[in-house]
Amino acid sequence: MMHFDLLVEDKSGKKSLDILLPRIIGTEHTYKVIAYKGVGRIPRNMKNPEDASKRILLENLPKLLRGYGKTYAGYGKYKAAVIVVCDLDKKCLRAFKKELIKIHDACVPKPLARFCFAIEEGEAWFLGDINAIEKAYPDYDGKIISSYVNDSICDTWELLADAIYPGGARKLKEMGWQTIGAEKSIWAEKIAPHMSLDKNKSPSFCYFRNKLTELL
């Protein structure tokens, strides 16, 4: 038996993983998905966030990983891992991952940890499974999605919005970020249940899935 703590940058990511995790790891293992209020930046001093109450993922990450290291050390033979999942956005994958590994290496003791990224954004994992989108949104615009290259840097959520939301990304942006966040959560609730774990064409989703199964 194994336990997973998953740290994600927003509520829509949590909704997706709460649906997908039991299917990936099975019911004999346990997990907890914790959503933050944005990804933020890694703090310069690598010690403590400027304002922990803001619940920004990367700003809290050094403290979080140190805490998990100490907690897991007390588990004895019980195995546990922390999985950090965030959007890559426009960052350089190699450089960003190197920064995260540096934080992990500074922990004493180190928790068992993996860093996974949605490239460019979490919606890339949905776009890796067109059949799931079609089941959730039968009237989706296939022409828009047909131009998508998996895990490309192309304003991913906007592309998905243009394909499935009346008025597209432009309409959502007019209504503000709170509406965008709420709509992304709806997409997660509708699309994730239909996703195929084995046939998804998003390389970043497959990497995430494989890291979990490797740990098991």
Q: Is the pLDDT of residue 209 over 80?
A: yes
Per-residue pLDDT tens digits for 143-193: 999 999 999 999 999 999 999 999 999 999 999 999 999 999 999 999 999
| Residue ranges per structural domain of the chain | 2-121+200-215, 123-194
**Integer Rg of the chain from CA:** 18
CATH pick for 2-121+200-215 out of 3.30.70, 1.10.287, 3.40.50, 1.10.1740: 3.40.50
Task: Report the pLDDT value the prediction gives residue 43, as an integer from 0 to 100.
Answer: 76
Rounded mean pLDDT, 113-137: 97
Assessment of whether the complete model's pTM goes beyond 0.75: yes
Nearest in space to 120 (alpha carbons), one of 195, 184, 203, 59: 203
Give pLDDT, residue 207: 98
SS3 205: helix
Q: What is the per-residue pLDDT across 7-51, written as a single tens digit (0 to 9) for each? A: 999 999 999 999 999 999 999 999 999 999 888 887 766 555 555
Give the count of beta carbons closer than 10 Å to the beta carbon of residue 78. Answer: 10
For the residues of 57-86, what is the DSSP string, one character each? Answer: HHHHHHHHHHHHHHHHHTTTT-EEEEEEEE
pLDDT value of residue 46: 54
CB 108 within 8 A of CB 140: no
Nearest-5° Cα angle at 103, 99 to 108:
160
